[in-house]
Amino acid sequence: MSALQVVHHIANRVRFHDSFIPKDCDAQKLEEELLKLEGVLSARVNPRAKSIVLSYENTGIETLKRKIEKIDVHAYKKPQTFESSCDVGLEEKPSIAGVIRASSAMSIEPFISDDRAKFALTSVATAPLLVEGTKELFKEGLTSKVLEATAVGVSLARKDYLAANITNTMLELGEYIEETTVHRSDTLIKELAKPNIEETWIEVEVNGKKVEKLVKTSTLSVGDIVIVGAGDTISVDGHIIYGDASVNQVSMTGEAEPVKKSRGDRVISGTVVEEGRIKIWAEQVGEDTATARIKEYIKSSLSEKSAIGLKATKLADSLVPVTLGLAGFAYLINRDFESVASVLQADYSCALKLATPVAFKSSISQAGKNGVMIKGAKALEALSHVDTFVFDKTGTLTHGELEVVSINSFDEEWSEEDILNLSASAEEHYFHPVAQAVMRAAKDRGFVHMHHDEVEFIIAHGVKTVVNGKEVVIGSRHFLEDDEKISFTKYTKQIDACLKEGKAILYVGYDGKLLGTIGMVDKLRENAKTMIQRLKSLGVKEVVMLTGDIELKANVLASELGIDRVYANMLPTSKAGVIKELQKEGKKVAFVGDGINDAPALMSANVGISMQKGADIAKATADIGLLKDDIEAVCDVKELANKTMKRIKSNFYATVGINSGILLGATMGVFSPIATAVLHNGTTIGLLLNSVKRVNLEGAKG
């Protein structure tokens, strides 16, 4: 059986599963190789899911499959670990030495009278560009760098040292601006990489006694009890099992205000305890923590090229021969080398190649600092084209946190508070969402602990214990009625009434009888309606909701929120099918989800967006991850994508329009080499500065 299998196919788009893709595959390099295949328009590789998604034209799936099978995917393994490559990147700071060298020569040259001294000074200042251009000519052929070196070389040959130095200075300045922008974007990695938590306190048992021990963070295992005090950085992802603390999450969510965390709350690595002391049950350690995963996401996102970026680069290089042709034409009509030098000073390449990636990097960095992780320029570009948003209701449009809203007692001797306290006492050491909802409600009402024997946890059913010598069973209806043989006959009407109201029900049995029920609901997010309205103002044509609710209840909620289409009574396995159905209608789809069963839909969508509290696999497969629990961040990133692409397009039109005018003027002999150099490179620098500007989000908070 072939390692490469077709998993999904719609018009001009196919997803393959390749079992040979290594986990440490360099996705960007493999994507670049796939883009070289004839007919391939875009490529996306997900090493975790071992998937390859291609958009194509003028070719067939079987032809593509044969070509992909010839590619040795193992040749694209990353040569080093993320940590080492990350560290190297962080040490490479932009150097202003080139700007100083070039500008010094430009300033000094007019005051030197001897031609040999002028030639020597200018040659030394421009040598790096000339050498680099020569190397690139033999390695890659005619490129923009070759054209730049040729322009400076011609000026040197003509003894027009001022033109050569002005060109060199402006090229160095443009390159420095680009490098500075990239470095500023990479500071996001620094924030997440520091501090490097080398040692961690854990709780261990020695001779029957619990003691604290300082260990290397790299030796931590799932299930360890990690102790974190005031001023310390949390080194694991997990749940608090003891204590209260004020936790600063700014490095992960962008929220400056510390958040109060207590028993049962989830905490993530990279956040800092400002006050208090807590014990954490470690769920993810080492490379599985949120910090480690996000480092990898940022690293790949800052280096990934978008489809429009690749097109700009190819277009820029393809226009180099046009510039050379115009230089020859200028000589024919003007019969002098000054007009040739003028034409060579101007081309489309610099602005086309630099402005697009710089704009993407700036926007990705801006999003990261605002609590939204975009995994690459391609994700941002794809989101700008999205016209349909699909939301899985639970955990996205709702908080994903159950809240106790009703308690029914079926025994006069037991009050509502008694039933709640009994349930909370039995479930206080259980991290299931239902148990956490019961604990929160009990604490709000003044929790009184009831003494009980050891609790038995029955997976997917509930809990068992003994209170006052009588058995207590708490959990699902199936658990109590079918397994424990507790009769529900007398209370069917009350239970059905709760279910019709859309409540999730926890059943409480005591001494072989149904003692009562606890009704819970998942609260709708307060800003869900305004979020949907804002999406539509950003050009989204349709908003779709997927839910397991009955159709009547789903339609009421959809009407309240302004949702256009509803899929009710949904099975978890059917979500990806809905995405494919919408894509067949010609829609560009973004899917927002948070659960384990959302992963296929996140991968099938044009853009997958995972919620902050989502399952790890949902975060891993999504193109965009929210690092803060705010659904309106979806609007922020959509607006950012729209405005980034608008900026890139305006830069493109400005590049083509302005440089066409400059080239025409230079060809006709209107502009001197110096004037052409200033106009052309000044335009490039201006477009770079426009690309690094912060995108103003009208709907963003703060």
Of 682 and 49, more confident: 682
In a domain, 293, yes or no: no
pLDDT bucket at 389, cuts 50 / 70 / 90: very high
Of 614 and 646, more confident: 646
Q: What is the pLDDT of residues 16-39, one digit of tens each?
A: 888 788 877 888 788 888 888 888
The CATH number covering residue 488 comes to 3.40.1110.10
CA–CA separation, 587 vs 13, rounded Å? 13
For residue 512, what is the DSSP state?
T
What residues form DSSP beta bridges with 5? 17
pLDDT bucket at 316, cuts 50 / 70 / 90: low
* pLDDT for 196: 60
Residue 590 has pLDDT above 90, yes or no: yes
Q: Of 52, 79, 106, which one is at a domain's C-terminal end?
A: 79
Contact 12, 57 (CB under 8 A): yes
Burial class (CB in 10 A: 0-12, 13-18, 19+), 361: buried
Structural domain of 220: 199-232+236-284
* pLDDT for 126: 93
The CATH number covering residue 257 comes to 2.70.150.10
535: number of Cβ within 10 Å:
24
Residue 413 has pLDDT above 70, yes or no: yes
Residue 98's Cα: distance from chain center in Å?
Answer: 34
Q: Which helix (H) or strand (E) holds 8?
A: strand 4-10
The CATH number covering residue 22 comes to 3.30.70.100
In a domain, 17, yes or no: yes
Tokens for 663? Answer: 């080239």
Q: What is the pLDDT of residues 45-59, one digit of tens each?
A: 877 667 888 888 888
In a domain, 43, yes or no: yes
Q: What is the pLDDT of residues 59-81, one digit of tens each?
A: 888 888 888 888 888 778 765 43
- Tracing tokens 């208090």 back to the chain, one arrives at 276
Tokens for 451? Answer: 């003494």
CA–CA separation, 515 vs 511, rounded Å? 9
In a domain, 9, yes or no: yes
Looking at the structure of the chain, the number of domains it has is 3
Q: What is the mean pLDDT of the chain?
A: 82
| Section 631-654 average pLDDT | 92
Contact 576, 598 (CB under 8 A): no
* Cβ partners under 8 Å of residue 588, min gap 6: 382, 385, 386, 387, 388, 606
In a domain, 492, yes or no: yes
Tokens for 271? Answer: 């956040």
| Burial state string for 552-591 with b = 16 or more CB within 10 A and e = fewer than 16 | eebeebbeebebeebbbebeeeebbebbbebbeeebbbbb
Contact 146, 133 (CB under 8 A): yes
CA–CA separation, 497 vs 487, rounded Å? 18
In a domain, 72, yes or no: yes
CA–CA separation, 24 vs 42, rounded Å? 21
Q: What is the pLDDT of residues 81-131, one digit of tens each?
A: 333 333 334 445 678 888 899 899 999 988 998 989 999 999 999 999 999
Q: Of 483, 506, 523, which one is at a domain's C-terminal end?
A: 523
CA–CA separation, 519 vs 505, rounded Å? 5
